[in-house]
Amino acid sequence: MNLYLRLLYTWIRACFKSRIQIGDVIELALTVLPNDLDFNGHMNNGRYMTIVDLGLIEYMTRCGFLRQALKRGWRPVLGGAMIAFRRGLKPWRSYQLRFSVVSWAGNWSYMRFEFVHRGEVMAVGYAKGGILSRDGLIPCAKTFAAIEEHRLSPTPSMALQAWIDADALMRA
């Protein structure tokens, strides 16, 4: 239940924050709660991606896309993720989630996220997400047009491009 409360709280807060543009970086201030922990006493590996979902909800709300998606019956889906853990986040530790959309191509948008505690990156990664309708995945050009975003995608970083290439090989 706590995860739903966090999600609702994040969405309501995002509704009152300033609008952002695709490519902007947002930061969410969070705390490691007891239900985030694994047997080793630090944040569970799977919980990181649940927290990334909070970043996605705030991002989609603040750029105006969530409202447009709901009107059209569209929903976000995750197509894959890569994360590198550097140090564990301990109970009650405050941290920031930095989140941004960094590139897009075809039907997929690529997001970068960082978990930061006192200026130190604790975990970093990328996720690939798409927007699904009853007819399947929707091209980014169409989803971005819903919020009047018509820019070309920035070139993926070397790290992101390497992951995109590895992801394609895994799916082949």
pLDDT digits (tens, 9 = 90+) for 134-146: 999 999 999 999 9
| List of residues 6+ apart from 171 with CB closer than 8 A | none
3-state secondary structure of 155: coil
Phi, psi values for residue 85, rounded to 5°: -95, 135
H helix runs in the chain, sequence order? 2-15, 45-62, 65-72, 140-145, 158-171
Q: What is the pLDDT of residue 3?
A: 81
Q: What is the pLDDT of residue 113?
A: 98
Q: Which domains does the chain have, with CATH numbers?
A: 2-8+20-171 (3.10.129.10)
Q: How confident is the model at residue 1 (pLDDT cuts 50, 70, 90)?
A: very low
pLDDT digits (tens, 9 = 90+) for 8-49: 999 999 999 999 999 999 999 999 999 999 999 999 999 999
Cut 0.75: pTM above it: yes
Q: What is the DSSP string of 36-64?
A: GB-TTSSB-HHHHHHHHHHHHHHHHHHTT
Q: How do strand 94-105 and strand 75-85 relate by DSSP bridges?
A: unpaired
pLDDT digits (tens, 9 = 90+) for 86-128: 999 999 999 999 999 999 999 999 999 999 999 999 999 999 9
| List of residues 6+ apart from 51 with CB closer than 8 A | 30, 97, 115
DSSP 8-state symbol, 87: S
Q: What is the mean pLDDT of the chain?
A: 95
